[in-house]
Amino acid sequence: MKYLLVMLSMVVSMCLLMLKRAFENNLVTHEVMLNNEKKYKPVNMLFISDIHRRSVSEKWLTSLPETDIAVIGGDITEKGVSFERVRKNAALLAANKKTYFVFGNNDEEVDKTLLTDILENQGITVLENESVKCHLNEGLVIAGVGDINYKKDDISKTMAGIQDEDVILISHDPRITKKLNQTANAANIKLILSGHTHGGQIRLFGFGPYQKGSMKRKPHYSHLISNGYGTTLLPMRLGAKSEVHLIRIV
């Protein structure tokens, strides 16, 4: 009986720890040089993905260093989340900065027209297989690709018209790297921002269904895969902390 009580206590403690981890606010910082041959005005970018059911902490967000751009890398919502919560999160993230958004697989499962209207009413630029010039640096483009899981991704369309510009590509699903050979100007892509995997969310003894999020340096580009801010299925995390990213681009 005593043994069972000890085991039960350990399980409860572990569950409480995992619950606590799921609602932490953690900032991870990076510096990325896009192109050795070009000198850009430094840009500070906030990147957040996979908010799902969470409410973004206003107190924590406003305590962060100021940024020039915010990028929301998909799954700002999911089924069952009120659009009022989405609106509040969007308003906080878009306050006083140019903000970009791409759809994730969970965003495809709600009223996408209404979601788009909410985001655009907050001044957020929604990118689905399209690109826009960065207002801070000539020769720098921000592009967003549609969700892979729903076969909405069209990398060729996304990169159409890009010639000598350097590209920051936003793709909710990191598997977009397997499709770069579908566009002739893939070499223009210098930074890819992704989420979706949650870093495995719950990792036991270091193992999980997906790799932990990280900044991967490739020969021609860098790829940031975030653990994300929220959770799916269970509001729990273990071994894959929630993340928001501050990226300094030079």
Using only C-alpha atoms, what is the Rg of the chain? 19
> Which of the four pLDDT bands, split at 50, 70 and 90, describes residue 50?
very high
Tell me what pLDDT residue 75 has. 98
- Residues 199-219: what's their mean pLDDT? 93
Across 225-231, average pLDDT = 98
Q: What percent of the chain has pLDDT over 90?
A: 86
Question: Among residues 222, 119, 124, 214, which one has the least CA distance to residue 169?
Answer: 222
pTM for this structure? 0.95
| pLDDT above 80 (res 140) | yes
Please tell me the total count of domains within the chain. Answer: 1
Q: What is the pLDDT of residues 150-187, one digit of tens each?
A: 999 999 999 999 999 999 999 999 999 999 999 999 99
Q: Which two tokens stand for residue 19?
A: 């619950």
* Contact present, 171 and 196 (Cβ < 8 Å): no
Identify the domain containing residue 64 by its residue range: 2-249
Q: What percent of the chain has pLDDT over 70?
A: 99
Average pLDDT for residues 84-97, to the nearest whole number? 97
Strand, helix or coil for residue 182: helix
Confidence of residue 25 (pLDDT cuts 50, 70, 90): very high
Q: What is the mean pLDDT of residues 187-199?
A: 97
Phi, psi dihedral angles at 72 (to 5 degrees): -105, 110
From the number of C-beta atoms within 10 Å of its C-beta (0-12, 13-18, 19+), residue 173 rates as buried
Closest CA to 68 of 34, 32, 27, 97: 97
The pLDDT confidence band at residue 206, using thresholds 50, 70 and 90, is confident
Confidence of residue 4 (pLDDT cuts 50, 70, 90): confident
Structure tokens at 233: 């299925």
Cα distances (Å, whole numbers) of residue 79 to 73, 119, 131: 17, 17, 28
pLDDT of residue 13 exceeding 90:
no
Q: What is the DSSP letter of 235?
A: S
Average pLDDT of the residues of the chain: 95
> Tell me, what CATH number does 92's domain have?
3.60.21.10
